[in-house]
């Protein structure tokens, strides 16, 4: 009896010193897994595992082990569960979508299960129950197509393929081994894309795209197209070993003359890059907004090639304007199309000129504008009121019962009257505002991350749909005040 009590005491002490349940076999330590970039998922804090029959693992771990055993045609007992990480996947494809697959953008709780067999590591993405499984590792089995592990994968109509992560570009053809091309440092464009947009899979006019990001915005069709165009240009540059500045050009514009002696050159690429120079100084670079991209692709895809030149008649200081659009459509451009394109180009030139002479305090003004929208969207109407100095007559008309209470008026307007108090998607400096201060063009995102569109008003089905809105910001002492309210939807 004493011997039994002694053994029981020893066993109790051993169990008490074990700490958390190991996710490996008792004879093996849990290997430390290297950090991996999986922007399609948001890791959660470790949670206590619920014991299930057969061990202390979630059922998803057993499901992953059974799937790998069947895949390798080996007994399950030869497979070690090395690690289990609770994860909230950002889509229904568990962060491992194929290039040709569309996934619902819904948070899907589950696990990243790491398995080991004979020194090789395999990773499975699962849902909570283990009823949905995806291979999430880059080491595929011979003859099998594994889910894409790259941050961005592009496939052209001719089966050209490019895969991107923060360390390299890999290029080649479908179902063939890809050639690795190192990046020269972390590419800023890829970093911006990952932090701006959520994951998506899309077929665009520039090829198929499978993208894994963790931004709050859902890329519009035009923004998806721009990402595909960028990937295509990077593919060509990697394959040829050089950058061709004429590759992917969508619009060129030149203007010179006038009393002031204007001379402007504009180049716009299909991936949304813009370069503007005054024919002698260094160029100013900027990017097209989602609204700009929609306009550009509309012309590029529907109009045939357009080469246009116009000179003011019978004027000594005449202005000469020329533009070229290598469109891929069938329609011949009208005079109205040419005028619209010239106005579009002129606006981009003006925006670049404003940026080239931007005042030093511009970031402060933009920050106040952004904070104003964030305050209204987050329900901090006192802060929103402290940053607003525009007209309040509409708020009073909507709410005659609220007087001398700007926070209350803003709250009612945002929650009941139809103001769309949304987060800004893009803010572009436009130059001085006629009321003093600075003027910005702002795009907004809906709560689901899609681009906000203000539809035609009051039953006018043929009215204009707006996606960008103008805001003035005026300095008052040390504070920058916003002069316009958020967009309105009746």
Q: Is residue 5 part of a domain?
A: no
Do 120 and 95 have their domain in common? yes
Decide if pLDDT at 64 tops 80. yes
pTM above 0.75, yes or no: no
Do 470 and 409 have their domain in common? yes
Q: Is residue 444 part of a domain?
A: yes
Do 350 and 385 have their domain in common? no
* Strands 249-257 and 319-325, sheet pairing: antiparallel
Q: Is residue 54 part of a domain?
A: yes
* Strands 120-127 and 133-135, sheet pairing: antiparallel
The mean per-residue pLDDT over the stretch 260-272 comes to 89
Q: Is residue 488 part of a domain?
A: no
Torsion angle defined by CA atoms of residues 246, 250, 256 and 260, in that order, rounded to the nearest 10 degrees:
-110
- Could you tell me what percent of the chain has a pLDDT over 90? 51
The mean per-residue pLDDT over the stretch 63-71 comes to 84
- What pLDDT, on a 0 to 100 scale, did the predictor assign at position 260? 66
Decide if pLDDT at 360 tops 70. yes
Do residues 253 and 349 make contact, with C-beta atoms less than 8 angstroms apart?
A: yes
Better-predicted residue by pLDDT, 329 or 195: 329
The mean per-residue pLDDT over the stretch 228-251 comes to 91
Do 260 and 332 have their domain in common? yes
By mean pLDDT, which of 134-143, 215-224, 236-245, 294-303 is the weakest? 134-143
Do 196 and 300 have their domain in common? no
Which of 15-19, 93-97, 260-264, 373-377 has maximum average pLDDT? 373-377
Q: Is residue 319 part of a domain?
A: yes
Better-predicted residue by pLDDT, 342 or 464: 342
The mean per-residue pLDDT over the stretch 375-395 comes to 96
Instruction: Say which DSSP state 416 is in.
Output: I
pLDDT, mean over the chain: 82
Residue with tokens 């592009």: 154
- What pLDDT, on a 0 to 100 scale, did the predictor assign at position 101? 56
Q: Whole-angstrom Cα distance, residue 4 to residue 174?
A: 66
Do 347 and 409 have their domain in common? no
Do 100 and 184 have their domain in common? no
Q: Is residue 461 part of a domain?
A: yes
Q: Which of 199, 223, 240 is the last residue of a domain?
A: 240
Do 179 and 283 have their domain in common? no
Q: Which of 356, 387, 414 is the last residue of a domain?
A: 356
pLDDT band for 394, please (50, 70, 90 cuts).
Answer: very high
Q: Is residue 10 part of a domain?
A: no
Do 343 and 368 have their domain in common? no
Do 311 and 253 have their domain in common? yes
Q: Which of 187, 222, 240 is the last residue of a domain?
A: 240
Do 253 and 297 have their domain in common? yes
Do residues 75 and 69 make contact, with C-beta atoms less than 8 angstroms apart?
A: yes
Total domains in the chain come to 4
Do 187 and 265 have their domain in common? no
- What pLDDT, on a 0 to 100 scale, did the predictor assign at position 142? 31
Q: Is residue 14 part of a domain?
A: no
* Residue 342: domain span: 249-356
Do residues 148 and 97 make contact, with C-beta atoms less than 8 angstroms apart?
A: yes
Do residues 263 and 282 make contact, with C-beta atoms less than 8 angstroms apart?
A: no
pLDDT band for 366, please (50, 70, 90 cuts).
Answer: very high
Of 301, 339, 303, 347, the residue nearest 323 (C-alpha): 339
The mean per-residue pLDDT over the stretch 262-285 comes to 89
């Amino acid at each position: 009896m004493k011997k039994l009590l002694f053994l029981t005491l020893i066993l109790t002490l051993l169990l008490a010193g074990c700490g958390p349940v190991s996710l490996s076999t008792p004879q093996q330590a849990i290997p430390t897994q290297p950090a991996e970039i999986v922007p399609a998922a948001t890791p959660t804090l470790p949670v206590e595992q619920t014991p299930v029959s057969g061990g202390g693992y979630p059922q998803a771990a057993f499901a992953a082990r059974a799937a790998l055993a069947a895949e390798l045609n080996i007994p399950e007992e030869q497979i070690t569960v090395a690690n289990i990480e609770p994860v909230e996947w950002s889509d229904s494809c568990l962060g491992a979508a194929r290039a040709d697959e569309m996934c619902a953008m819904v948070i899907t709780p589950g696990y990243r299960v790491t398995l080991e067999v004979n020194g090789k590591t395999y990773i499975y993405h699962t849902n909570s129950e283990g009823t949905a499984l995806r291979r999430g590792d880059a080491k595929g089995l011979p003859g099998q197509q594994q889910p894409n592990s790259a941050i961005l994968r592009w496939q052209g109509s001719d089966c050209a393929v490019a895969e991107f992560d923060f360390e390299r570009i890999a290029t080649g053809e479908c179902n063939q081994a890809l050639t690795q091309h190192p990046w020269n440092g972390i590419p800023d464009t890829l970093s911006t894309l990952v932090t701006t947009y959520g994951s998506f899979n899309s077929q665009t006019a520039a090829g198929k795209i499978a993208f894994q990001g963790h931004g709050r915005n859902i890329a519009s069709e035009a923004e998806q197209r721009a990402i595909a165009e960028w990937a295509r240009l990077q593919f060509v540059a990697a394959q040829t070993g050089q950058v061709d500045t004429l590759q992917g050009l969508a619009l060129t514009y030149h203007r010179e003359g006038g009393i002031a002696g204007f001379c402007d050159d504009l180049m716009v690429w299909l991936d949304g890059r813009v370069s503007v120079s005054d024919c002698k100084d260094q160029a100013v670079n900027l990017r097209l907004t989602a609204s700009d991209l929609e306009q550009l692709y509309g012309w590029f895809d529907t109009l045939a090639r357009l080469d246009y030149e116009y000179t003011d008649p019978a004027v000594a200081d005449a202005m000469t304007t020329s533009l070229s659009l290598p469109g891929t459509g069938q329609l011949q451009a009208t005079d109205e199309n040419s005028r619209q394109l010239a106005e579009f180009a002129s606006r981009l030139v003006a925006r670049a000129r404003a940026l080239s002479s931007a005042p030093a305090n511009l970031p402060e003004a933009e920050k106040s504008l952004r904070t104003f929208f964030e305050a209204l969207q987050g329900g901090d109407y006192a802060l929103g009121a402290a940053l607003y100095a525009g007209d309040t007559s509409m708020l009073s008309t909507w709410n005659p019962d609220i007087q001398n209470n700007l926070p209350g008026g803003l709250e009612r307007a945002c929650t009941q009257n139809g103001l769309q108090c949304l987060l800004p998607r893009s803010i572009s400096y436009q130059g001085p505002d006629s009321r003093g201060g600075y003027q910005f063009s702002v795009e907004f995102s809906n709560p689901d991350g899609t681009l906000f569109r203000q539809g035609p008003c009051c039953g006018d089905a043929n009215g204009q749909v707006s996606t960008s809105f103008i805001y003035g910001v005026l300095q008052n002492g040390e504070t920058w005040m916003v002069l316009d309210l958020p967009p309105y939807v009746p």
